[in-house]
Amino acid sequence: MPEEFIVPAILIFVLLIVIGKAIVIVPQNATYVVERLGKYNDTLTAGMQFVVPFIDRIAYRLSLKEDAIDIPSQVAITRDNISLTIDGVLYYKVLEPYKAAYGIENYEYAVIQLAQTSMRSEIGKLELDRTFEERDTLNARIIDAINQASAAWGVQVMRYEIRDIQPPASVLDAMEKQMRAEREKRAAILDSEGKRQAAINLAEGDKQATVLAAEAQRQEQVLKAEGEARSIELVAAARANALKTIGEAANSAQGQAAVQLDLATEAIAAKKEIARKSTVVLMDNEKSNTANTVAEALSIVAALTQAQVNK
């Protein structure tokens, strides 16, 4: 290459290097902290940015996306002196790049340590049973405790989840026995409730059956009484009609003769019945003959006729 082209080529190469150093491409959801001569100068956001080559330098490259970190297992003691092995997962996000770069050396490590200490502190305020029942409340308290300290680092904890709570083996065995006893207790209660309800149903059924039987008996008695009353009315009506018919027939000569004949026949039949059933019969000879019997019957008919005439 001729010497007259060497210097321009070197100048072009150096210019390209300078331009390459001056142009910075920042990815989406990321930020670069730029220092000029060792001092904070600017915070570059996503897109194409420009810096002064060899004077400015990118000191920190920070992600603005939410990230998750595991909280290692640790032993915490509850309020009732039960040792628990607890681990979890924490979700955090960088909100202020300047504080995250210069507020602390390693904010991720600091957040993990703060999460562990906050967890031990909050577990110590609760009894064993409540640590399982109030897990959501416990998570919220840990988040509040971490955010109060991490605000100076430009980091915010979004969520914290307790992943596993492991009590000692002896406590697990006692909890298993307690749950078994509770299940047996509930089963016994349900069984007794079932028997009680069955007894109530049987008693209610017997009661209803007794009421229905009494009602049926009362209805039967009412119907029977009504039937007897109706029968008496019909017999009385028939007897009245018969007496009326006899009375109407007795008003004539032929009717009176028929009545006298009927009475005499009944009197003779009655005396025959008495004689048949008794071995000894003492009767007045004059009053026991047929003529006297008929005469007595005729006198009764005459009295009845006279009473009818007077009426």
pLDDT tens series, the chain, 311 aa:
566 667 777 777 777 777 777 888 889 989 999 998 888 898 898 888 888 888 888 889 999 999 999 988 888 888 888 888 888 899 999 999 999 999 888 889 999 999 999 888 888 888 887 887 888 888 888 899 899 888 889 999 999 988 888 887 877 777 778 778 888 888 888 888 888 888 888 888 888 888 888 888 888 888 888 888 888 888 878 877 776 776 666 666 666 666 666 666 766 666 666 666 655 544 555 555 555 655 665 565 555 556 555 65
Residue 150 main-chain phi, psi, to 5 deg: -80, -5
Domain's final residue, options 167, 192, 220: 167
Helices assigned H by DSSP within 124-252:
128-133, 135-150, 169-250
Bridge partners (DSSP) listed for residue 30: 63
The residue segments making up the domain with residue 180 are 175-248
Q: Are 82 and 49 in contact (CB under 8 A)?
A: no
Taking the C-alpha atoms of residue 166 and residue 45, their distance in angstroms, rounded to an integer, is 44
Task: State the pLDDT at residue 8.
Answer: 74
**Amino acid letter for position 9:** A
Same domain, 180 and 144: no
Task: State the pLDDT at residue 282.
Answer: 47
Same domain, 134 and 182: no
Q: How far is CA 129 from CA 75, 137, 143, in A?
A: 17, 14, 21
Identify the sign of the CA torsion 282, 286, 289, 291: negative
Q: 3-state class of 22 per DSSP? A: helix
Q: What pTM, to 2 d.p., does this model score?
A: 0.52
Domain's final residue, options 63, 84, 107: 63
From the list 186, 165, 182, the residue with the least C-alpha distance to 122 is: 165
CATH code for the domain of 134: 3.30.479.30
Q: Are 301 and 253 in contact (CB under 8 A)?
A: no
- In the chain, the number of structural domains is 4
Task: Please give the structure tokens belonging to residue 26.
Answer: 């920042």
